[in-house]
Structure 1
Amino acid sequence: MTDTPRRLSVRRRRLSEELRSLRLAAGMTLDDAAKATEWSVGKVSNIETGVRLRPSVVEVRALLDVYGLTDERRRESLFAITRQAGKKGWWTKYGDVFPDEFPVLESEATAISTYEPMIIPGLLQTPSYVELFTRSANLVRDPVDIQRVVDARRRRQEILTGPDRPNLWAVVDAGAIERLRATPEVCREQAGHLADMADDGNGVTVQVVPFSAGIHAGAKGSFVLMDFSAADPVVYLEMDQDGLFLEESDETTRYRNLFNHLVSRSLGVDESVAYLRETAKAA
């Protein structure tokens, strides 16, 4: 059984792309770069491709010198990326909660478009909903394990309040809302929270796909589309034990078109908020 390759953060991917671009612009092969730095070809390749996840500033400086980059502003920018790429994220403390590197990309996205047919999107879940879902859907009973999931979800949600918060657009099927009626207290809190988040003008949009939309293309399952300022978009499909990342342009375009289709089948933003408030009130 082989190990699953680790995902590169957006910063690390950008560093890899920049170093490869500079090498090619200098007209050098990997062998040329290895000879100039007196390193092995493997070391240069690993730094450039991201196999070596955390190269040092000293190593990156050596490569920039070899490639003839003298622009101080650009050099300092790459050094800053190197330092940031070497930092461990908060999610490394929750390896038992997150089965893959999804939080790495989510934390660096500038825009997140998500569709959920069955549950409330993670970034918008209340603590009581997280606890209920963890107990019911994941069959977790240990209070310590449940609290770790609640804590991890709360940390994820901090990206919505930070200075570099992404724009979040969540489309949720009405089925995910209606299921909450079986637990009135959770329903009031969760539906009200969704309405409040959509009403706050903080970059969050929530729309509900009504039952009247009938069978639609989103019935196949949930997905998250993430856009970045310094990298190509990525689609994430969550599985039971792991997730699938799609990065090819035709794949991300297909899911962007699917998301736009779901938006067109949804209630308008104001109608969605009204529906959520009515649901919370009636619970």
Structure 2
Amino acid sequence: MPNARPVPTVRRRRLGESLRRFRNAAGLNLDDAAEALGWKAPKLSRIENANAHIRPVEVSALLTTYGVTDPEVFDALEELAKDAGKRGWWQTYNGIVAPAYADYISLESDSDSIHIFAPLLVPGLMQTAAYARETIAGITMTRTPEEIAALAEIRLARQAVLTRPSGPLKVWAVISEAVLHQRFAVRPDTMRDQLRRLREVSELPNITLQIMPLDATPHPGSAGGFSLVGFPDAMPDVVLLENLIGASYVENVAEVQTFADAFNRIVAAALPVDDSVALIARMEEGKTT
């Protein structure tokens, strides 16, 4: 239906939140800002709350009204408006990819950096096909074998961002040592192959990999895992939190900063990079000390 309200995707929410921040910084309320463009306040409210479309030219008009002059801000937000409803390769898996997961893949494709604390599983961007299938089957519980295979394909396809020609995604991952001790009774080679994969990706210049040792001092990661997704230019970062029933996002700037500060403390508590890679190599060889 042409007049249907757009789905408030993460892209639209990021755009709306950015426009709201610039409006507040300009000292304008909704009525004043809308009146300056000949709009009604409810229209601007819907845009800021990700419940309405906005064209790039309208984004430019708003930013001008708010006194923004940085051309990088204009480019970033206009591009976000243009891509707010963009469909990606993952849309070919319609019915398998949940909306929240599709949102995350789109974020991942837009981002230039991701900081991950992984206390339970190897991050998806570093998984082998076998590890992906086994862990997806264990977590999803109700998926058919065909759906599990498709989700594993999607997870591996996401890894293209690590070597994309337009600029590889920079990933800094801290993985709990406990994850590396996991065993797969039916396919015992799964973990050894996964350890090899971790060692190989650690050699990429855009990857920083650390292991959180079992005897680490207490750190903020004890509260759970998260992914801090960073974007170029003026776009605010987003934090992904996952559990059995899906994903949720932290988008408030102050709250996102809390996770950024936590990640810095997690990094400080983890093994240095060289020691982490050496530990992975020893475990790949079957040595645990």
**Following the alignment from structure 2 to structure 1, what is the Cα–Cα distance between the partners of residues 221 and 177?**
12
- The CA deviation string for residues 122-144 of structure 1, in whole angstroms up to 9 with x for no partner, is 11111110111122232356221
Measure how far apart 1:252 and its partner are.
Answer: 2.5
Cα distance change of structure 1 residues 167 and 58 upon mapping to structure 2, 3 Å threshold: closer
Aligned to 2:135: 133
Matched, 1:161 2:163: yes
Aligned to 2:203: 199
Sequence identity percentage: 29
* AA in 1 matched with 2:96: D
**Following the alignment from structure 2 to structure 1, what is the Cα–Cα distance between the partners of residues 72 and 272?**
44
Measure how far apart 1:243 and its partner are.
Answer: 2.1
**Following the alignment from structure 1 to structure 2, what is the Cα–Cα distance between the partners of residues 126 and 240?**
21
Measure how far apart 1:83 and its partner are.
Answer: 2.6
Matched, 1:269 2:280: no
Scaled by the length of structure 2, what TM-score is found? Answer: 0.76
Cα distance change of structure 1 residues 41 and 252 upon mapping to structure 2, 3 Å threshold: closer
* AA in 2 matched with 1:13: R
What CA RMSD, in Å, does the superposition of the two structures yield over aligned residues?
A: 3.7
Scaled by the length of structure 1, what TM-score is found? Answer: 0.78
Match of residue 146, structure 1, among 148, 152, 156:
148
Cα distance change of structure 1 residues 173 and 34 upon mapping to structure 2, 3 Å threshold: same
Paired residues, number: 274
| Paired residue secondary structure (1:97) | coil
Unaligned runs of 5+ in 1: none
Cα distance change of structure 1 residues 175 and 65 upon mapping to structure 2, 3 Å threshold: closer
Structure 1 segment 123-272 matched on structure 2, within 5 A: 123-140=125-142, 142-162=144-164, 163-180=166-183, 182=185, 183-201=187-205, 203-213=206-216, 216-229=219-232, 230-272=234-276
Q: State whether residues 117 and 226 of structure 2, in contact with CA within 8 Å, keep that contact through their aligned partners in structure 1.
A: yes
Unaligned runs of 5+ in 2: 1-6
Aligned to 2:3: none
Q: State whether residues 208 and 267 of structure 1, in contact with CA within 8 Å, keep that contact through their aligned partners in structure 2.
A: yes
**Following the alignment from structure 1 to structure 2, what is the Cα–Cα distance between the partners of residues 250 and 59?**
27
- The CA deviation string for residues 82-124 of structure 1, in whole angstroms up to 9 with x for no partner, is 3333422334444533351322322222221111111111111
Matched, 1:55 2:54: yes
**Following the alignment from structure 2 to structure 1, what is the Cα–Cα distance between the partners of residues 231 and 16?**
14
* AA in 1 matched with 2:239: V
